[in-house]
A and B are shown apart, each in its own frame.
Chain A
Amino acid sequence: MSTKPIIISASPHVHSDRTSKKLMYDVVIALIPAFLVSLYVFGIGALIVTAVAVISCILFEYLIQKYLLKATVTINDGSALLTGILLAFNLPSNLPIWMIIVGSLVAIGVAKMSFGGLGFNIFNPALVGRVFLLISFPVQMTMWPTALENQTKIADAVTGATPLGIIKEGLQFGETMTDLSYKIPTNLDMFLGFTGGSLGEMSIIALLIGGLYLIYKKVITWHIPVTMLFTMAVITGIFWMINPEQYANPLIHLLSGGAILGAFFMATDLVTSPMTKKGMVIFAFSIGLITVVIRLFGAYPEGVSFAIIIMNAFVPLINKYFKPRRFGSKIKSKII
């Protein structure tokens, strides 16, 4: 026998080789295509914003764990990295650096570490950071360098609104969808990512590739993204059919405003989404619904971020009332 004493522990004595760290890094991998596209479209700005967000998120996590909480430092579990990336993906690529740092502080310090760190937060840290910035600095947060014309040079980026922003403003002042359709990028451009917007939200194709990779790796299930996008498509579809001049068509809604990024990467955040499939469907349905309500009737042209953090708040309630069916309980209901 070896010199080390024999180990006693309770069963089970084997373990699958999945670890939470691997899950996180899988998401990072899935985000690479979208990052590459934004690098192509926005140039070095995308790199700067992402790097600043990532570094400051990790640094804040380190400082807080080490000096405020005096706990073990777990910055290499990948979650702060991911929060940084996703925060960056929700910011315009020309945001002043100090604002990015403030956003990271809010994301990590307020939304995550105040609750005890990984796994205990109620709200999606990256989105809290983003919403905080959006509300505090609406001007900078809603001015996007427009795509294409200024690849690779950030110095004098032309700013413009996102397709949804153009539509919202236009409709409010009496323009019709037909007028507006000339002002917004074509569906194909939006699909490929040649449009204005936050740096990680524009390239639908790249995000879809990443999303499918996550589903393939079983990091996420299809329930949340599919339900959410389907709900959005149906509701915007109904309005569009009622009055195509007043309401944008569902495709525009799905292709713009971070719907895909939200559906695959933010609403699916394990920590802040429900624990059962049934719960996930309800969660995602509500996100879809609230997103559409905000986009069509609210003040903000873009509703995904808010919809997700609103529903984050409801997750404990959903978990409380949508439990997995207990084996052997009398009432037989189908399990989703």
Chain B
Amino acid sequence: MEYIIIIIAAIFVNNIVLAQFLGICPFLGVSSKVSTSVGMSGAVLFVMTIATIASYLLHQYILIPLGLDYLRTITFILVIAALVQMVEIILKKVSPPLYKALGVFLPLITTNCAVLGVAILAIGLEDGSLLKAVIFAIANSIGFALAIIVFASIREQLELANIPEGMKGVPINLLVAGLLSLAFLGFTGLV
């Protein structure tokens, strides 16, 4: 039950993009096509999960025992940056097609605050276990995927619309994000 609550909360109620404002850059940046946004979601799911595991372990078994939790930010970001690089290499070698699909997004993820944000939030969970952290990360990346895919499909449709000159580009995208976020307010109080 607890896990289900985490999942629903992360996907609908506190959607990482629409309610928590994490990962807005890729959300606005790589959402012009549904296909690319699916690629990005895949990459985020992948990286967010491993990054959370890695930083959880780092925090739990190195930083806390050594009393170095003020190094949280710097160590996490290092771990994430290195991980992303490593994933990139491994993918390139192991599965070129997957690399082709996700590869372009990987560098973007380093500067995606959703990954770092979730890693930090995950260690802050109440009586958090590793499992809980992982579920939290996965649920959040699904929330990210949901938001960005819906957003991309709307943008695809808007490409065919006659948006007024002044609204074209950034403003209309922000507005759509705003209305999307407004709609998601309906889930308030589910958990």
Instruction: Answer whether A and B touch in the complex at a CB cut-off of 8 Å.
Output: yes
- Interfacial chain B residues near A116, Cβ < 8 Å: 161-164
Known: A120-B163, A317-B153. A298 touches B189 (CB 8 A): yes
- Interfacial chain B residues near A293, Cβ < 8 Å: 190
Tell me the chain A residues, 130-179 only, with Cβ under 8 Å from chain B.
131-132, 135
- Interfacial chain B residues near A297, Cβ < 8 Å: 189-190
Q: Does more than half of chain A's interface fall in helix, strand or loop, or is it mixed? A: helix
Asked if B183 is at the interface (CB within 8 A of a chain A CB), the reply is yes
Looking at B154, B172, B186, which has the most chain A CB atoms within 10 Å of its CB? B186
Contact with A along B164-178 (1 / 0, CB 8 A): 100100011001100
- Interfacial chain B residues near A114, Cβ < 8 Å: 163-164, 167, 171-172, 175
Asked if B156 is at the interface (CB within 8 A of a chain A CB), the reply is yes
A298 to B186, CA, bound (A): 8
Known: A114-B175, A116-B163, A313-B154. A135 touches B180 (CB 8 A): no
A300 to B13, CA, bound (A): 13
Task: Name the one of A68, A111, A113, A313 contacting B150, with C-beta atoms under 8 angstroms.
Answer: A313
- Interfacial chain A residues near B179, Cβ < 8 Å: 110-111, 122-123, 128, 309, 313
How many pairs of residues, A versus B, come closer than 8 Å at their CB atoms?
Answer: 96
Q: Are A294 and B153 in contact (CB under 8 A)?
A: no
Known: A299-B189, A303-B186. A313 touches B167 (CB 8 A): no
> Which single residue of chain A is at the shortest CB-CB distance from B165?
A69
Asked if A73 is at the interface (CB within 8 A of a chain B CB), the reply is no
B104 to chain A, nearest CB (A): 22
A113 to B165, CA, bound (A): 12
Interface residues of B (CB under 8 A from A): 34, 149-150, 153-154, 156-158, 161-164, 167, 171-172, 175-176, 179-180, 182-190
Interface residues of A (CB under 8 A from B): 68-69, 110-111, 113-117, 119-120, 122-123, 128, 131-132, 135, 290, 293-294, 297-300, 303, 305-307, 309-310, 312-314, 316-317, 319-320
A-B contact pairs, 13 of them (CB 8 A): A115-B161, A120-B158, A120-B161, A131-B182, A135-B182, A298-B188, A299-B189, A309-B183, A309-B186, A313-B180, A316-B154, A317-B150, A320-B156
Q: Which 5 A-B pairs have the closest CB atoms?
A: A299-B189, A306-B186, A120-B161, A316-B153, A317-B153
